[in-house]
């Protein structure tokens, strides 16, 4: 008989194994058997819980997005200034767990999949809109709306670009270096507005 409470644990194990397996391969060219082996369960159990590899991929993306959202909420809790909140968003995006090579490879594989899967594309669009909204919420308190939109797009583009460079091992190789680079860009963009605001 199945042990009570095992389903959530096995589902999580399969999602985590999906991210690891895709990250190690650098593509979605993995099978349910590969993932099940990595999770330490049978392929039949993986199919029982998720039905298909596509459903497991979607669950894995949702897991990444939920983790990002929870981390962002926790990081911004009790922060008083818009600038502090912007820094918190940047730190979350480059958290070592998210910016680990295997996780970066998984993110990029999901972006490739989004070109042919409407469901995957929709989830990644939600992520992009959420990031933009969080950035605009704070930027809108520091500069005029048009500037806030431009700066938000620039910060989001830097984050995406640094993920791509990390996957190529061609950019800053650490979370800290990526945070510093993005913060420098943000400081440069905000300087005229913070200077005009005075002490």
| Domain region containing 147 | 53-197
Per-residue pLDDT tens over the stretch 136-180: 999 999 999 999 999 999 999 999 999 998 888 766 668 999 999
Show Cβ contacts of residue 23 under 8 Å, excluding neighbours closer than 6 positions: 100, 101, 102, 103, 104, 105, 106
Say how many domains are in the chain. Answer: 1
Task: Tell me whether residue 2 is in a domain.
Answer: no
> Tell me, what's the pLDDT at 171?
63
Task: Tell me whether residue 143 is in a domain.
Answer: yes
Burial of 65 (0-12, 13-18, 19+ CB in 10 A): middle
Task: Tell me whether residue 31 is in a domain.
Answer: no
Average pLDDT of the residues in 86-108: 91
Per-residue pLDDT tens over the stretch 143-153: 999 999 999 99
Mean of per-residue pLDDT scores for the chain: 90
Task: Tell me whether residue 148 is in a domain.
Answer: yes
> Tell me, what's the pLDDT at 90?
97
What CATH number is given to the structural domain containing 136? 1.10.357.10
Axis-axis angle for helices 53-76, 118-139 (nearest 10): 10
Task: Tell me whether residue 188 is in a domain.
Answer: yes
* Reported pTM: 0.86
- Check pLDDT > 60 for residue 1: no
Task: Tell me whether residue 180 is in a domain.
Answer: yes
Task: Tell me whether residue 104 is in a domain.
Answer: yes
- Check pLDDT > 70 for residue 99: yes
């Amino acid at each position: 008989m199945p042990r009570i409470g095992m389903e959530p644990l096995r589902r999580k194990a399969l999602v985590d194994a999906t991210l690891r397996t895709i990250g190690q391969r650098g593509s979605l060219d993995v099978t349910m058997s590969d993932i099940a082996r990595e999770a330490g369960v049978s392929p039949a159990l993986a199919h029982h819980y998720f039905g298909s590899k596509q459903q497991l991929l979607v669950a894995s993306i949702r897991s990444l997005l939920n983790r990002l959202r929870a981390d962002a909420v926790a990081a911004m809790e009790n922060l008083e200034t818009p600038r502090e909140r912007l820094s918190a968003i940047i730190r979350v995006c480059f958290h070592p767990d998210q910016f680990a090579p295997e996780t970066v490879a998984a993110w990029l594989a999901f972006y490739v999949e989004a070109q042919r899967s409407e469901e995957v594309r929709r989830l990644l669009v939600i992520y992009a809109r959420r990031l933009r909204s969080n950035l605009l919420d704070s930027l809108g308190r520091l500069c005029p709306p048009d500037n806030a939109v431009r700066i938000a797009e620039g910060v989001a583009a830097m984050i995406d670009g640094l993920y791509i460079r990390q996957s190529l091992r061609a950019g800053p190789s650490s979370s800290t270096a990526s945070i510093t680079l993005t913060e420098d860009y943000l400081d440069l963009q905000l300087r005229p507005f913070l200077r005009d605001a005075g002490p």
